[in-house]
A and B are shown apart, each in its own frame.
Chain A
Amino acid sequence: NAGVMQNPRHLVRRRGQEARLRCSPMKGHSHVYWYRQLPEEGLKFMVYLQKENIIDESGMPKERFSAEFPKEGPSILRIQQVVRGDSAAYFCASSPPFPGEQYFGPGTRLTVT
């Protein structure tokens, strides 16, 4: 039973480029969450999605960041025009339909040069 999958594991972007991070939830899980972790810090909630719906995006910066979870395929976190401050580890988690445990993927480490 595969766990939560994320790719790429490492991503290097120059300032001004776009970053696309992908997350495939565990089998049977229909809820996806994105969290950001800065070096030596805790995890900060960004967005919570179900298939084709954004349920809570209260942690997402108002500009440059967007997320989707289409009917088919992985969830995508998109960061446009990246800046150095976007450098962080981005973790995706998934949970089953009934409010339950969240299981994390291995993360994508984004470095903006």
Chain B
Amino acid sequence: GENVEQHPSTLSVQEGDSAVIKCTYSDSASNYFPWYKQELGKRPQLIIDIRSNVGEKKDQRIAVTLNKTAKHFSLHITETQPEDSAVYFCAAREGAQKLVFGQGTRLTINP
């Protein structure tokens, strides 16, 4: 089955700098890659996603890139703000619907 690896597990950046989180997946048949943000004690919130027929997608300060050949995808957050502090999860869709999640990255934005 699908296996998703996520790095780093913790990331600390200065406010205003950029943050990059990387994930690799194992199943070349996976075709959908969402990113979720989870604040402490809250639900995971979908922040951006990308499908396998697209190489890059951007939404304001957030962008995701996908390299199908290498089977990796990355989340980029620019001009980071304190409210970006949270745990971020990448995922890959295996089969018709099942999501396989990475282990999470705890992002801390230092003022």
Contact = CB atoms under 8 A, between A and B. Distances in A.
Interface string B77-104: 0000000000001010101111111111
A56 B32 CA distance: 18
Interface of A: 31, 33, 35, 41-45, 48, 55-56, 58-59, 91, 95, 99, 101-107
A95 B98 CA distance: 11
Interface of B: 1, 32, 34, 36, 42-46, 49, 89, 91, 93, 95-104
Given A42-B103, A43-B44, A106-B43, A101 B98 contact: no
A41 B9 CA distance: 11
A106 B42 contact: yes
A105 B44 CA distance: 8
A82 to B, nearest CB: 22
B106 to A, nearest CB: 9
B98 A45 contact: yes
A42 B89 contact: yes
A102 B99 contact: yes
B93 A104 contact: no
Given A43-B44, A104-B43, A105-B43, A99 B99 contact: no
Contacts of B101: 35, 42-45
B97 A95 contact: yes
A101 B49 contact: yes
Contacts of B36: 104
B86 to A, nearest CB: 14
Contacts of A103: 46
